Structure 1
Amino acid sequence: MLSATYHRHRLIFRHPAGTSRGVLHHRDSFFLLLHDTLNPETTGIGECGVIPGLSPDDRPGFEERIISLCDEINQTSSVNTSGLENWPSIRFALETALFDLTGGGQRILFESQFTSGEKPININGLIWMGEEYFMLKQIDEKLAAGYRVIKIKVGAIDFDTELKLIAGIRKHFGEDQITIRLDANGAFSPGEADEKLKHLSDFAIHSIEQPIKQGNPATMAEICRTSPIPVALDEELINISGSDNKKKLLEQIKPQYIILKPSLLGGFYACREWIELAAEKGIGWWITSALESNIGLNAIAQWTATLGNDLPQGLGTGSLYTNNIPAPLEAANGVLHYLPGKPWDLAFTGIYNPHPAGS
């Protein structure tokens, strides 16, 4: 027998998070809680939320849909993901909460050498857009912290300044010392993409995510064919559902990589389908979190650890917030560790005192 409640928690960014869509100062996360009515001490937790201008869930009715989902579960004492196809973040939260509940509500969703503390996950260090001094400071901090793969968001400040920053990294660190990934978040116009990619290729770039906005597959296919830098699709995958449609997109664009964000793509099963189709076509992939708190990051990291992909993953986001949930996750020296002996601390969020009408 199941019941459900939810709770809202506002996460505060440690530094303003600059993207090509603007600057974020906070993010509201919604925690979906599944309760075993026969064992009330056992609670499974999943997380959902929106990224303005990016998430398919970013539209009127998001919180109302969470409320109606809780009502459905409370009325039927069961879980049904149908009807959540257009709410991928909520579907991810429900899927995650169910895995957690099934595992005894201990936040161990997928047991592996990661959750036992034996094998950490390789991750990249994320460099946020901003003024030159701010980006240089972040780069220095990541390198000092032992990261050997860094991902730099480009497209929000002057392109010549971005080239100067990347050139400065390469002046001191060769490609055998530091791997550079770029993420344009669709910031380049189709007309300027070729020239910008050519300039960026001077610096031995591993890959660039989403150089132009999604929704123009013919142009993206041409960019993937001619780019001197391997291209990774990110936003392009959002709102693409069904195996046939996913297969068609990959066949048309032929990217070198795809980036998978479970909370934007509808959960683990939806991402697994992308992985299987990519494998058939020799397309590489890695997993990235999408500004979740440690609840969502924990779920994504544990699932990622079961996939056998040794490429650095985009899971170094736990330190983004001043009020993230204390968890047994620790990013250090370019890897994400799970610390079995460190407890969760959910009390300060009020997460165990939610109610169906929200808070």
Structure 2
Amino acid sequence: MKATYHKYILNFKRPSGTSRGVMTEKETWFIVLEQDGKKGIGECGILRGLSADDRLDYEEKLQWTCANIHLGKDTLWEALIEFPSIQFGVEMAFLSLESETPFLLFPSAFAQGEKSIEINGLIWMGEGAFMKQQIEEKLAQGFRCVKLKIGAIDFGRELELLQFIRQNFTPEQVEIRVDANGAFGLNEALDKLNKLSGFELHSIEQPIQKNNTDRMAELCKTPSFPIALDEELIGVFSFEEKKQLLQKIKPQYIILKPSFVGGFKGAQEWITLAEKYQIGWWITSALESNIGLNAIAQWTYTLQNPMPQGLGTGALYTNNFESPLQVSAGQLWYQKDKDWVFDFDQL
């Protein structure tokens, strides 16, 4: 077996804002395996400034991984415990190599184009008019669940945007999730949560920055509305550490990005614990290309979680790989009659 790694820069169609700043491009890496004339591909979806493995030795670790590919995916997964995005890339690459085609990783009714996955419509941060325009578009497109990035513009303006949705749609018609990306200060968070609670929101992701576990545990006890942990899970590697975190904070939900939490195996550990402690969960992508998004979507379908998932990011880039994935009326479909437009030489 031969393994190589390749860097690829994804360009956003328009600058995309979060509370951590505006992104115009996204770096990603691919691992390609070759054996007996077959090829497999896995995406290492690192997000600079956020991933636990945003380290100076990242490329060196990719090099090491390719040089030691003979160790197999299980041994490599353990050896790469501090490099969750590479763990995911390795898992995906082995599945891809072993599959009938490089992109059919989890055969199912979804991969056959017979069933879909309900997803949330993502509203990016920006000026109020831009956010309002996005909201109107998502609702017109038939999304039953929208997720608003908040925490970057004036909080009063964000409350007005939520008011706009609620004046026109009941909670039964449109579920609203908000994601603060840790933007709220420790002392203001409770007040802001109380103000947000008037809009009958489904949940808020990561209201305060990670590693403030005492304060986060207090916020999760308040009756305002449910809190979901997202960034809080990054860099929590061992099963025991995961268990301790959930026992201490007791969140209502956790959000799992395979690129951030050690791939399918790492995410499954979180799911096992969440279900043990009656904590809800859903899966989201982490701005991967369609190659990584496809793997996450196919795996997600096998979990049969009825909640809307966070998998609608395939259309963000000008130079994404053309795939059978398509969003229609708030559902992600795999169009079996549409081919991948991909050549390994593109990397």
> TM-score w.r.t. structure 1 length?
0.93
Which residue of 1 is the match for residue 224 of structure 2? 228
Partners of 1:132 and 1:353 in 2: CA distance: 38
Which residue of 1 is the match for residue 275 of structure 2? 279
Give CA deviations for 1:148-170 in whole Å, capped at 9, x if unaligned: 10000000111011111111111
Which residue of 1 is the match for residue 22 of structure 2? 23
Which residue of 2 is the match for residue 306 of structure 1? 302
Which residue of 2 is the match for residue 357 of structure 1? none
Which residue of 1 is the match for residue 146 of structure 2? 150
Give CA deviations for 1:17-45 in whole Å, capped at 9, x if unaligned: 11111110001211111111x2x2x2111
User: Is 1:243 matched up with 2:242?
Assistant: no
Partners of 1:172 and 1:52 in 2: CA distance: 38
Which ranges of structure 1 fall in alignment gaps of 5 or more residues? 355-359
The answer (yes or no) to whether the contact 2:256–2:283 under 8 Å persists in 1 is yes
The answer (yes or no) to whether the contact 2:41–2:102 under 8 Å persists in 1 is no
User: Is 1:92 matched up with 2:85?
Assistant: no
- SS in structure 1 of the partner of residue 24 of structure 2: strand
Which residue of 1 is the match for residue 52 of structure 2? 56
User: Is 1:206 matched up with 2:202?
Assistant: yes
Deviation, structure 1 residue 64: 2.3
User: Is 1:32 matched up with 2:36?
Assistant: no
Out of 54, 66, 81, the position equivalent to 1:70 is: 66
Partners of 2:345 and 2:101 in 1: CA distance: 13
Which residue of 2 is the match for residue 184 of structure 1? 180
Which residue of 1 is the match for residue 345 of structure 2? 352
User: Is 1:196 matched up with 2:192?
Assistant: yes
Alignment-mate amino acid for residue 313 of structure 1: Q
Are the structure 2 counterparts of residues 61 and 227 from structure 1 closer, same or farther at C-alpha, using a change threshold of 3 Å?
farther
Written as runs of structure 1 = structure 2, the 5 A alignment for 1:338-349 is 338-347=334-343
> TM-score w.r.t. structure 2 length?
0.97
Partners of 2:217 and 2:119 in 1: CA distance: 28
RMSD: 1.3
Which residue of 1 is the match for residue 137 of structure 2? 141
Partners of 2:59 and 2:126 in 1: CA distance: 31
Partners of 1:281 and 1:71 in 2: CA distance: 40
Give CA deviations for 1:312-359 in whole Å, capped at 9, x if unaligned: 000011111111110010011011001112111113xxx3366xxxxx
Out of 105, 108, 112, the position equivalent to 2:108 is: 112
The answer (yes or no) to whether the contact 1:45–1:105 under 8 Å persists in 2 is no
Deviation, structure 1 residue 77: 7.4
The answer (yes or no) to whether the contact 2:45–2:286 under 8 Å persists in 1 is no
Which ranges of structure 2 fall in alignment gaps of 5 or more residues? none
Partners of 1:96 and 1:333 in 2: CA distance: 28
Alignment-mate amino acid for residue 326 of structure 1: E
Alignment-mate amino acid for residue 212 of structure 1: I
Runs of 4+ with >6 A deviation: none
- SS in structure 2 of the partner of residue 5 of structure 1: strand
User: Is 1:257 matched up with 2:242?
Assistant: no
Which residue of 1 is the match for residue 6 of structure 2? 7
Give CA deviations for 1:195-229 in whole Å, capped at 9, x if unaligned: 00011111110000000011011110000001411
Give CA deviations for 1:45-66 in whole Å, capped at 9, x if unaligned: 1111322221012121222221
Aligned residues: 345
- SS in structure 1 of the partner of residue 184 of structure 2: coil
Alignment-mate amino acid for residue 133 of structure 2: K
